[in-house]
Amino acid sequence: MSKGDYANKGIHTRLAHIGNDPREFFGFVNPPVVHASTVLFPDAATMAARNQKYTYGTRGTPTTDALSSAIDTLEGSSGTILVPSGLAAVTIPLLAFLSAGDHVLIVDSVYHPTRNFADTMLKRLGVEVDYYDPLVGAGITALMKPNTKVVFTESPGSNTFEMQDIPAIAREAKARGAVVMMDNTWATPLYFRPLDHGVDISIHAATKYPAGHSDVLLGTVSANEACWKRLQETHFTMGCCAAPDDVYQVLRGLRTMGVRLERHEENALDVARWLEGQQGVARVLHPGLESFPGHDIWKRDFSGASGIFSIVLSGGGEREAHAFLDALEIFGLGYSWGGYESLAVHVFLGDRTVAKGDYQGPVIRLQIGLENPEDIKADLARGLAAAAG
C-alpha cells in the first residue's frame, strides 16, 4: 500500500500512517531526523543541473517531506511549507501574495500578532490594510477594491470566537480575483478543511494541537495547486525553514492528535456547558454551544470543536479578572494553547476596530486541557468565587 492510499481511510488510521513510508528507511517506523545543510552530488554534471531529489538543507529533507506530506493528506493540499513558528506561517504567505499598491482585507477578530504585522510591515511595504467584520459573509463584496489581492480569514476568531461564513467569503473574494487565506489553527484539519470550502491557503500554528505539549514552535502553510508554486518560491526566497528536531516532534504529535483532540473537545464542551449555569458568568463564547450566535455556521461547516473558548464575567473589570486568575490552582496563566494542560488569560480587545462586541465584563480565555473535568470545574469555581468576592 502506498502513502496515497490513506487519503480515503478514517481519520485515526490516517494520523497513524501518513507522512513517511517505513520501507523507505530500513523499516523503522519513524522517519530519520535529518540534520543537514550540505547535500553531496555524485558528479559535476548532476551538481550543475541540481538533478537529484535533495539539494540543500533549506530546500527539504526526508524529515520535512514526511511532515509536509502528512499535512497535505489532512488538508487536501498540493503542497505544504514548514516554518519556524505559527506567526511565520501567517507572514510568509502574506508576503508571497502582496506587493506595493495592493489592498488586503483582514478579519477584525484576527490573532493579534497578524494585525501587528499588517499594521507595521505590510503598511511600510506599501500595502493598504483594512479590517472587516467577522460576520460580513457575502457582504465582503462591498469591501473589495480593484486592487484587493488577499482576503485573510480566521474562524472562529481569536479570543471571541466569531464564526465566519468561509464558503460565502471565499466564493465572493475569488470571483473578484483575490487569494483567500485562512488561519485554521483552532479547528486543525481534523475539524475543518479550508480548501474543501474554497479557501486557497490554509495556515496553522502547529505549535498548538499538532505539537500538543507546549514545548515546540512550528508553522505550516498548505496551498491548493494554483497557489503552491508561488508559496514555495517565497519560502525558498525567505530562507525561513523549520528545524529538523521541531519538525520531527510535530510529526510525532500528529500521531496522537486525534485522540487528544477528542478529549479536549469533550472536556471543553462539558466545562463550557457547566459554566453557562454558573453565577458570575454572563456568557460563554464557544461555537459548539447552541446559545452561541455562530453555532449554526459551526454546525454546518465544522466536524468538531477544539479545547479553547472564552467566558465573559458578569460585570467588573481588571480587578475582578485578576482575582479570578490568581485564584486558579490547576490552570496556568500563559499565552499559547493546544498543549495537554489547562491555561487561562485575560483577553485584551482594545485593538479591535469593528468586532468590539458588547461584553458586560472581562473576557477570560480558557484552554481546557486533559485533566479530569471535575478538577477543572472546581478550579474555575474558585476563580468565580474570588471574582465575586
Ligand X SMILES: *Cc1c(COP(=O)(O)O)cnc(C)c1O
Residues at the site binding ligand X, with contacts judged by CB under 6 A? 85-87, 90, 111, 154, 158, 183, 185, 205, 207-208, 217, 219, 336
The CB-of-243 to ligand X minimum distance in angstroms stands at 13
**Whose Cβ is closer to ligand X: residue 105's or residue 323's?**
105
**Whose Cβ is closer to ligand X: residue 101's or residue 334's?**
334
The CB-of-85 to ligand X minimum distance in angstroms stands at 4
**Whose Cβ is closer to ligand X: residue 198's or residue 338's?**
338
**Whose Cβ is closer to ligand X: residue 116's or residue 372's?**
116
**Whose Cβ is closer to ligand X: residue 14's or residue 260's?**
260
C-alpha grid cell, residue 301: 461547516
Distance from C-alpha of 339 to C-alpha of 241, rounded to nearest angstrom? 23
The CB-of-238 to ligand X minimum distance in angstroms stands at 16
First to last CA, the chain: 62
* Residue closest to ligand X when measured from CB atoms: 86
The CB-of-219 to ligand X minimum distance in angstroms stands at 6
The CB-of-325 to ligand X minimum distance in angstroms stands at 19
The CB-of-180 to ligand X minimum distance in angstroms stands at 16
**Whose Cβ is closer to ligand X: residue 156's or residue 198's?**
156
Backbone φ/ψ region at 21: left (φ over 0), alpha (ψ -120 to 50), beta: beta
Residue tagged 463550557 (cell numbers): 272
